Amino acid sequence: MIRTKLCEMLGIDYPIFQGGMAWVATAELAVAVSEAGGLGIVGAGQAPAEVVRAEIHKVKAATLRPFGVNVMLRSPHARTVMEVVASERVPVVTTGAGNPGVFMPMLKASGTKVFPVLASVALAKRLSRLGIDGIVAEGLESGGHVGEITTMALLPQIVDAVDLPVIAAGGIADGRGLAAALALGAVGVQIGTRFVCASECTAHPAYKQAIIEARDRSTVVTGRPTGHPVRVIENHLARKFLKMEAEGAPADEMEKLGVGKLRAAVVDGDVRDGSMMAGQVAAMVKKVQPAREIIREIMSQADQTLERLRTL
Ligand code: TUI
């Protein structure tokens, strides 16, 4: 089985991070992934600090394995969530949608390893000087808030720009994707969409079913004009956003329309008017299955892929 220096660095068996998806990545999913030998990550999203603390306690009660918390930096609770993460001595933090620089001293002091999720080389270079432990390079194939560069193009550029372990995210759902990421210089991958369809994931069954039914062109990016591009499975809400954008609707009106819509999709299963965040690989997700099985399939397919490459 493939092992990389990421495994030694974090004490995990397989070089797989589970994406820290808001509402989706609860303690249940994180525990299942960590117990299966990957790195389970609780997605703090916009949750208040005490809610995140309760999730961390649930994880600690269920597994002794390493785990992480993703802090969404655009959350109004980002600072207090970081304080909780530091005081709980969470082993790994990933960050999204912003620059985690101001939190570095606090996280270093608590011994937390920090892996910012980034979509550009410039920020990777800047943060590499602040003591981060690695970078998750996220291409525009991913679900949710996205950058402008594909994983294929971004990953080797970040690998070349920094002297840090780089983890690939966006567009990876199976062992071929893991092998490709390793070929481009990554030491591991972060996978989101496929783990939405883990049996242990508490997301609504209708949300999982929409991912399973997705095809190659089922996702679209809304919010580009407002500066907050988000990849979702196209539905009634997404079409409404795209129409408003085309008509030049004011940004604040569209921001208002988005409030609560991710929860509606993930928790209530509102596949029509909810924000169905998912990556372009949704079409590659075929069924709901246990996290352990997902990881086993990915690892064995990555091994087979590397073997095949030697005999081309
Ligand atoms: O953060 C993500 N993906 C997300 S966050 C999210 S929650 C949300 N909910 C509703 C609307 C909008 C978001 C859903 N999906 N991925 C990591 C990521 N971070 N991708 C790109 C970035 C990023 C963007 C700008 C990182 C840094 C950055 O820097 C800005 C700066 O300060 O220079």
Report all structural domains of the chain as residue ranges with CATH numbers, in order of start: 5-202+287-310 (3.20.20.70), 215-277 (no CATH)
Ranges of the chain with pLDDT below 70? none
User: Residue with the nearest Cα to atom 28 of ligand 1?
Assistant: 98
Q: What pLDDT shows up at residue 114?
A: 98
pLDDT of residue 250: 94
Ligand 1 centroid to Cα of residue 95, in Å, is: 8
Q: What is the pLDDT of residue 84?
A: 98
- The answer, yes or no, to whether any atom of ligand 1 lies below 6 A from the CB of 285, is no
Q: What is the pLDDT at residue 9?
A: 98
Q: What pLDDT does residue 263 have? A: 98
Query: In 3-state terms, the chain is what percent helix, strand and coil (to 5)?
Result: 45, 15, 40
3-state secondary structure of 268: coil
Tell me the C-alpha distance between 21 and 1, whole Å.
27
What lies within 8 Å, CB to CB, of 259 at 6+ separation is none
Name the residue of 74, 142, 145, 230 to mutate for ligand 1: max ligand atoms within 8 A of Cβ. 145
pLDDT of res. 238 = 98
Q: What is the pLDDT of residue 32?
A: 99
Q: How far is the CA of 229 from the centre of ligand 1 (A)?
A: 9
* Ligand 1 close to Cβ of residue 192 (< 6 A): no
List CB contacts of 260: < 8 A, sequence separation 6 or more. Answer: none
pLDDT of residue 249: 95
Structure confidence at residue 113 (pLDDT): 98
Instruction: State pTM to two decimals.
Output: 0.97
Q: What pLDDT, on the 0 to 100 scale, is given for residue 7?
A: 98
User: Which ligand 1 atom is nearest residue 144's CA?
Assistant: 15
Does ligand 1 lie within 6 Å of residue 65's CB atom?
Answer: no
Residue 96 Cβ < 6 Å to ligand 1 = yes
Q: What does the pLDDT read at residue 164? A: 98
pLDDT at 208 (0 to 100): 98
Instruction: Tell me if 144 CB under 6 Å of ligand 1.
Output: yes
pLDDT given for residue 254 in this prediction: 92
